[in-house]
């Protein structure tokens, strides 16, 4: 196969043909400006999601029952911020500053996925939500890792290993709550499932199979359609959750003979509304990151 150095990357068709044949791009390769922007957008988005996603958990650190659990959750929070560090390097190599991304989020120019606009209302909810989130992230990363931009796929490989670790951590927490918790704890975990299952169904985005000529698909920045990822996740997580002893309240949740699942589709208008900053914790998340940017400026300056 030709290398990128032999191609005229200013010709869109030549670059697309290269990608179509399985070609990959590394940080030091020439690449079209549009591709560079598109990959930076995806990676920057995930970097922010890691940072903001961590705040859902770190705000529980001083409320956790038990020192060991506290240490376990601290490790997860450190991992999430580590993922952000790795992704920050990928975007910086593409010419985007990580600080700029934080500011774009705080200024409302970048809107994060629906899952980052909520908060956990009880400790049992943390366990089940973490389980649904981690399994969804793994399904999503297993797809993105087949993408065309090497620095991102390398970062994802490291991230996926740790997500799998967090997945087992979440199962352990759920099992502990279910086995040792009282009836309140169990009902809280069930409430958490009822709340987070629709949120995580929406996490994969609206159906996009009808949208033809998606540039990110052509460039293999995005690999699978949203509905396919959603199906993969449901297939994976439903039996796991049922084996814990919990039940899904969605009356439409059903597996068909052909292996596909049906379920109640999220209300996409509502999801859009949440993403615009109208979730129960949208403002809280923004405030936390804003405060960090201000409070930790001295540290950034000291180490920078």
Partner 1 sequence: MSQQYDYEVFVQPKSGQPFTHVGSVRASDDVLAMHFAKEVYTRRDNPSAIWVIRRDHIMMWNDSELFNIAFEKEYRKPGYFAQRHLERKTKNGR
Nearer to partner 1, 83 or 111 (CB): 83
SS3 content of the chain, % helix, strand, coil (to 5): 70, 0, 30
Chain centroid to Cα 258, Å, comes to 29
Does the protein bind partner 1 through residue 155 (CB under 8 A)?
A: yes
Does the protein bind partner 1 through residue 41 (CB under 8 A)?
A: no
Out of 3, 182, 183, 213, point to the residue binding partner 1 (CB under 8 A).
3
CA distance 235 to 150: 29
Q: How many Cβ atoms from other residues are within 10 Å of residue 283's Cβ? A: 12
Distances (CA, A) of 181 to 173, 177, 238: 11, 5, 22
Nearer to partner 1, 15 or 197 (CB): 15
Q: State in angstroms the smallest separation of the CB of 73 from partner 1.
A: 15
First-to-last CA distance in the chain? 42
Out of 154, 195, 255, 272, point to the residue binding partner 1 (CB under 8 A).
154
Does the protein bind partner 1 through residue 201 (CB under 8 A)?
A: no
Q: Which helix (H) or strand (E) holds 261?
A: strand 261-262
Does the protein bind partner 1 through residue 292 (CB under 8 A)?
A: no
Query: Which three-class secondary structure state does DSSP give residue 255?
Result: strand
Does the protein bind partner 1 through residue 180 (CB under 8 A)?
A: no
Q: Which stretch binds partner 1 (CB under 8 A): 54-62, 86-94, 106-114, 214-222?
A: 86-94
Nearer to partner 1, 24 or 238 (CB): 24
Does the protein bind partner 1 through residue 181 (CB under 8 A)?
A: no
Q: Which stretch binds partner 1 (CB under 8 A): 129-137, 153-161, 176-184, 188-196?
A: 153-161
Does the protein bind partner 1 through residue 304 (CB under 8 A)?
A: yes
Half-sphere exposure of 172 (CA within 13 A, CB side): 10
Query: Which three-class secondary structure state does DSSP give residue 254?
Result: strand
Is residue 169 within 8 Å of residue 72, measured between CB atoms?
Answer: yes
Q: State in angstroms the smallest separation of the CB of 104 from partner 1.
A: 19
Out of 13, 28, 210, 269, point to the residue binding partner 1 (CB under 8 A).
28
Does the protein bind partner 1 through residue 260 (CB under 8 A)?
A: no
Q: State in angstroms the smallest separation of the CB of 239 from partner 1.
A: 28
Out of 92, 172, 228, 250, point to the residue binding partner 1 (CB under 8 A).
92
Out of 47, 73, 86, 136, point to the residue binding partner 1 (CB under 8 A).
86
Q: Which stretch binds partner 1 (CB under 8 A): 46-54, 79-87, 104-112, 182-190?
A: 79-87
Q: How many Cβ atoms from other residues are within 10 Å of residue 207's Cβ? A: 13
Query: Which three-class secondary structure state does DSSP give residue 149?
Result: strand
Kindly give the interhelix angle for 150-180 and 33-58, rounded to the nearest 10 degrees.
Answer: 20
Does the protein bind partner 1 through residue 298 (CB under 8 A)?
A: no
Distances (CA, A) of 109 to 106, 238, 296: 8, 35, 22
CA distance 206 to 226: 7
CA distance 289 to 221: 28
Binding site for partner 1 (CB under 8 A): 3, 5, 28, 78-79, 82, 85-86, 88-89, 92-93, 154-155, 158, 165, 300-301, 303-304
């Amino acid at each position: 196969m030709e290398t990128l150095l032999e191609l005229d990357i200013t010709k869109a068709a030549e670059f697309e043909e290269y990608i179509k044949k399985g070609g990959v791009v590394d940080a030091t390769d020439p690449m079209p400006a549009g591709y560079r922007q598109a990959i930076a957008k995806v990676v920057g988005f995930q970097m922010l999601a890691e940072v903001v996603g961590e705040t859902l958990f770190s705000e529980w650190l001083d409320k956790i029952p038990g020192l060991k659990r506290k240490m376990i959750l601290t490790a997860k929070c450190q991992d999430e911020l580590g993922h952000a560090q790795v992704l920050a390097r990928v975007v910086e190599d593409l010419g985007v500053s990580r600080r700029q991304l934080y500011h774009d989020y705080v200024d409302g120019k970048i809107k994060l996925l629906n899952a980052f606009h909520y908060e956990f209302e009880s400790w049992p909810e943390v366990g089940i939500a973490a389980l649904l989130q981690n399994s969804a992230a793994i399904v999503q990363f297993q797809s993105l890792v087949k993408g065309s931009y090497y620095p991102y796929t390398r970062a994802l490989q490291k991230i996926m290993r740790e997500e799998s670790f967090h997945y087992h951590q979440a199962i352990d927490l759920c099992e502990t709550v279910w086995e040792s918790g009282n009836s309140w704890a169990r009902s809280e975990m069930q409430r958490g499932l009822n709340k987070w299952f629709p949120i995580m169904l929406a996490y994969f985005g609206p159906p996009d199979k009808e949208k033809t000529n998606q540039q990110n698909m052509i460039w293999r920045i995005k690999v699978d359609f949203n509905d396919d990822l959603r199906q993969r996740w449901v297939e994976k997580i439903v039996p796991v959750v049922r084996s814990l002893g919990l039940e899904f309240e969605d009356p439409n949740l059903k597996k068909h003979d052909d292996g596909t699942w049906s379920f109640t589709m999220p209300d996409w208008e509502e999801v859009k509304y949440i993403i615009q900053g109208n979730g129960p914790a949208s403002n809280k998340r923004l405030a936390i990151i804003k405060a960090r940017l201000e409070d930790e400026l001295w540290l950034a300056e000291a180490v920078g």
